[in-house]
Copies of this chain bind each other. A is one copy, B any other.
């Protein structure tokens, strides 16, 4: 850890980036709040950010997923944080499982980061730490847990992630 390694932060949309537009009586996914969250977190660890998608995760297609995988596989960084809608986060985790030698952490939020009560900052903190400390593999950091990407599912009714056997 002596020389901190740059973390790659990819954004793909999801609830974390939802904003409410009164003129439309609707929420939409906007410019990612991730940079603001990292500033509020007073992050001085080197990182590099890129927007891959700006979508509700229910709208992410196979082609979109291939794009995420290609971006991660081609990255020079070994610690990767991906913000992502929660509904299909496990599908993207599955697609990323083929990439060796990288610590890939998916996270997101169940309440928009623009809410004064949101899990966004906490979750992004978890992901940032996991990218630095966990062994290579794919992880989902949410609800206070660092899950392996293949051991968890979202329970939509409860609005949280649970272990597969607890479903």
Which residues of chain A have a CB within 8 Å of any CB of chain B? Answer: 1-2, 4, 15, 18, 20-23, 25, 27, 37-38, 40-45, 47, 56, 58, 86-87, 110-112, 114-119, 121-130, 132-134, 141-148, 151, 156-161, 163, 165
Given known contacts A122-B125, A133-B130, A111 and B144 CB-to-CB distance under 8 angstroms: no
**A38 vs B119: C-alpha distance in the bound complex, in angstroms?**
9
**A56 vs B20: C-alpha distance in the bound complex, in angstroms?**
14
- Asked if A20 and B23 make an inter-chain contact with CB atoms under 8 angstroms apart, the answer reads no
- Select which of B4, B15, B23, B163 is within 8 A of A159 by beta carbon: B23
- Asked if B22 and A110 make an inter-chain contact with CB atoms under 8 angstroms apart, the answer reads yes
- Select which of B21, B111, B133 is within 8 A of A146 by beta carbon: B133
- 16 A-B residue contacts at CB 8 Å? A2-B165, A20-B20, A22-B86, A23-B157, A25-B87, A40-B122, A41-B123, A42-B119, A43-B122, A44-B145, A45-B144, A45-B145, A114-B115, A114-B117, A129-B129, A132-B145
- Asked if A151 and B20 make an inter-chain contact with CB atoms under 8 angstroms apart, the answer reads no
- Select which of B38, B40, B129 is within 8 A of A130 by beta carbon: B129
Given known contacts A128-B126, A151-B2, A160 and B42 CB-to-CB distance under 8 angstroms: yes
- Which residues on the B side are within 8 Å of A117 (C-beta)? 40, 114
- Select which of B45, B129, B134, B143 is within 8 A of A44 by beta carbon: B143
Residue among A38, A42, A114 with the highest chain B CB neighbour number at 10 A: A42
**Which residue of chain B has its CB nearest to the CB of A44?**
B143
